[in-house]
Amino acid sequence: MLIDTYGRAATDLRVSLTDRCNLRCSYCMPEEGLQWLSKSTLLTDDEIVRLVRVAVTTLGITEVRFTGGEPLLRPGLVGIVERCAALRPRPRLSLTTNGIGLKRTATALRAAGLDRVNVSLDTLRPDVFRTLTRRDRHHDVIDGLRAARDAGLTPVKVNTVLMPGLNEDEAPELLAWAVEHAYELRFIEQMPLDAQHGWKRDGMITADDILESLRTRFDLAPEGDRARGSAPAERWLVDGGPHRVGVIASVTRPFCSACDRTRLTADGQVRTCLFAREETDLRGALRSGAPDEEIARIWKEAMWGKKAGSGLDDPEFLQPQRPMSAIGG
């Protein structure tokens, strides 16, 4: 198992499949994009599947989430999902996406074995979407969400970041829409993951701000810590249920003590935390012919050194050296 010195066991693997994205969200990357990783440095499909196999069959991983960048840009995605779904014990498989390509891929991904999706959508207003993402693709995301739900990739979770002066007033409207369409909405506090390091703690929309806004229209009853488990989102029943809304308060209410995640970057590095400043190379071991046992040993050693927390609660926090697109959300 992937155990650290604080007694936490990692059972949830996040796998970044690419650093590329077809949006330019202002809280993630600059308008001109980034210098993408070269193809030779990216893990191949076979290497990804092998590392997932080691994680699932040897290291106790039970859930695998494919991320990016934008994972739907990975040409071999459906095949990777199908091969990982064939592993025994079978891991639960999910995908975090901007939703643009879901209309054409949702059915194939479900048939390959994908269980569910998380889709990023920060606004219901096409003009605000253009401002936030610098692309006119709002309708594609809406169509992708519908396709995912119709394909059975449920529960479809919608991830929303509220930004001052742009969409901070939309929380009640977004929740009403999510309830209407049977999506599970999750608000995420803006985190320091932008490549241009423009994040500021002062002025960010906090979990308390979000809940105060939602309560102007809805009655929210907390599910409590027992229902939450190791999940990052605190969840509330909306108007008595059955619909729920979640808030991931990574900055103001860190949940590191219950963290059960390990991360694999698109170029084959283990990260113990989204905000870690150190990485452990697995790609080099793979390509030098290391057996599975050696891969597992390196991975275990990396996770043993996981720190107690992310450091986000420190006012002097320094942002991670690599942008979110290279790490995987």
Count structural domains, the chain.
Answer: 1
Q: Show the domain range for 228.
A: 2-326
Does the annotation place 322 within a ligand binding site? no
Does the annotation place 200 within a ligand binding site? no
**Distance of CA 55 to CAs 82, 192, 243, 263, 299, Å?**
16, 28, 34, 11, 9
Average pLDDT, whole number, for the chain? 91
Residue 175 · residue 214 · CB < 8 Å: yes
- pLDDT above 90: residue 303: yes
- pLDDT above 70: residue 317: no
- pLDDT above 70: residue 329: no
Tell me, what's the pLDDT at 196?
A: 47
Does the annotation place 256 within a ligand binding site? yes
Mean pLDDT of 271-292: 95
Q: What angle, rounded to 10 degrees, do the helices at 102-112 and 138-151 form?
A: 30
Does the annotation place 84 within a ligand binding site? no
- pLDDT above 60: residue 197: no
Tell me, what's the pLDDT at 200?
A: 60
CB atoms within 10 A of CB 155: 14
Tell me, what's the pLDDT at 230?
A: 75
Under the banding of pLDDT at 50, 70 and 90, the label for residue 250 is confident
Please tell me which residue, 138 or 191, carries the higher pLDDT value.
Answer: 138
Q: Check which CATH number belongs to the domain holding 279 and give it.
A: 3.20.20.70
Does the annotation place 25 within a ligand binding site? yes
